[in-house]
Amino acid sequence: MKGLEEIFPGEQGPVLLTSPQAIFYTTGFYTTARRPNQIGNQCVLMDEQFTLFFCPRNWGDVIRPQLDSQITLIPCDPSPAALAEAVCRALPRKPERLGLEEETIILPLYLALREQLPETSLWDVTSRLYRARMKKTPAEIAGLRRSANLAKEAMEHACDILRPGVAELDVVAELEYFMRKNGSEGTPFTMKVLSGDNALRTINLPGTRKLAQGEIVLLDFGTTVGNYASDWTRSFMLGQPTREQQALYELVWRIERTCINRIRPGISLQSLMDTAFDVLRGHPFETWFNPYLGHSIGIDSVERPAIVPGVQGCLEENMVLTIEPGVYVPGVGGIRIEDEILVTSEGPEILTGLRTERFVL
């Protein structure tokens, strides 16, 4: 359980959290609610003196055993108006300001709170919540390790099943089955198994296209273990690569490893972006680089900050982030290489990776 001062140091007013991620982060309870009409059925109200968990009446017996004894469970009707009324009744006084997750709170609940608290200033806690989630506790790091270890086993399995004639979606199905069977609670994002020209655009999805000899296959996937995500990518060559394909792989590998080797507390995120551009400068494939180098990871597979040109901030000890350069060259292939990195006082610790790194299968 995390208190108000731990997440929002210096904040005096109450904060209402509604996203499944924030509820898990503060209470340890993870809801499977995903649809907009479900998100908002439960919420957490935090103040200096209390943490209240509001949930539908018929959920109480399920949720209560999973909550810390310091958290008060308040069953109520799940409609936005009834939930807002219950929240307002629970407040010891009408607050001057109330923190909300403006990016995820459903509009009916926001409007109901606005109506019942007309004199209260509503402010957005999203950026401060992400800021708190950036640095991981030992328990969170252990969860991320478990998730990364399972994803590593899945990638080793992928190396055994990738072969010409197998459809992209068949690989997806096999890997999802493998990960579920071995303990994953689900894939934290849509798995990518992209081959040939389908790998040239990162927004593409796997389909019925069959893997072919002489093509590059890009695999980007993750697992969820203990509600913590993993996310990593490898690109493989089916058959012997051409000179250009080999040069492309070596370029992306060099960008990734050069950036990883720079990771340590105090290094600016922009300097990592600059390092990638330094490695690329003057290379024939320079213009095909996608200027997105990575992101933080935790409860979500993609968290803030994202490492893009102009990014603000510096690395801190116990952050976990990905480094994932990608270069996509028409007529040659698309290659992305991605690893999860724990920032330690001594430098980077790579959480993912194959037992034997290779490009050619």
Residue 218 and residue 165 share a domain: yes
- How far CA 357 is from CA of 226, 330, 352, 353, 354, in Å, comes to 28, 25, 11, 7, 5
pTM of the model: 0.93
Statement to judge: residues 119 and 168 lie in one domain: no
Q: Tell me, yes or no, whether 361 lies in a domain.
A: no
- Give Cβ neighbours of residue 320 (< 8 Å, ≥ 6 apart): 136, 141, 144, 296, 297, 298, 340, 341, 342, 343, 351
* Residues 114 and 147 grouped into a single domain: no
Whether 53 contacts 17, CB under 8 Å: no
Q: Check residue 6 and give its pLDDT.
A: 82
Residues 254 and 341 in one domain: yes
Same structural domain, 193 and 327: yes
- Is the domain of 100 the same as that of 140? no
Q: Quick one: pLDDT at residue 36?
A: 46
Q: Does residue 360 lie within any of the structural domains?
A: no
Q: Are residues 115 and 185 in the same domain?
A: no
- From 101, 132, 163, give the residue that closes a domain: 132
The residue from 99, 132, 165 where one domain ends is 132
User: In a structure prediction context, what are the per-residue pLDDT tens digits for the chain, which is 361 residues long?
Assistant: 677 778 888 777 799 999 989 999 999 988 665 544 454 578 999 998 889 999 888 888 888 888 888 999 999 988 899 999 999 999 988 999 999 999 989 999 999 999 999 999 999 999 999 999 999 999 999 999 999 999 999 999 999 999 999 999 999 999 999 999 999 999 999 999 999 999 998 889 999 999 999 999 999 999 999 999 999 999 999 999 999 999 999 999 999 999 999 999 999 999 999 999 999 999 999 999 999 999 999 999 999 999 999 999 999 999 999 999 999 999 999 999 999 999 999 999 999 999 999 999 9
Residues 235 and 325 in one domain: yes
64: in domain? yes
Asked whether residue 355 is domain-assigned, the answer is no
205 and 58, same structural domain?
no
| 9 within some domain | yes
How far is the C-alpha of 297 from the C-alpha of 134, rounded, in Å? 8
Q: Is residue 354 part of a domain?
A: no
If asked whether residues 69 and 192 sit together in one domain, one would say: no
User: Does residue 144 form part of some domain?
Assistant: yes
Asked if residue 301 belongs to a domain, the reply is yes
Taking CA atoms, 146 is separated from 1, 22, 87, 337, 351, in Å, by 21, 21, 37, 21, 10
Q: Output the domain CATH number for residue 218.
A: 3.90.230.10
SS3 78: coil
CA dihedral 259, 260, 266, 267 (to 10 degrees): 0
Listed residues 106, 132, 158: the one ending a domain: 132
- Measured CA to CA, the distance from residue 219 to residue 320 in angstroms comes to 21
CA angle 137, 220, 217 (to 5 degrees): 155
With a CB cutoff of 8 Å and minimum separation 6, the contacts of 253 are 337
For 337, the domain range is: 136-348
Tell me how crowded residue 41 is: count the other CB atoms within 10 A of its CB. Answer: 21
Number of domains in the chain: 2
Q: How high is the pLDDT of residue 5?
A: 77
Tell me the two tokens of residue 244.
């250009």
* CATH number of residue 68's parent domain: 3.40.350.10
Q: How far is CA 110 from the centre of its chain?
A: 26
Q: Output the pLDDT for position 1.
A: 64
Q: Are residues 112 and 150 in the same domain?
A: no
Residue 311 and residue 173 in one domain: yes
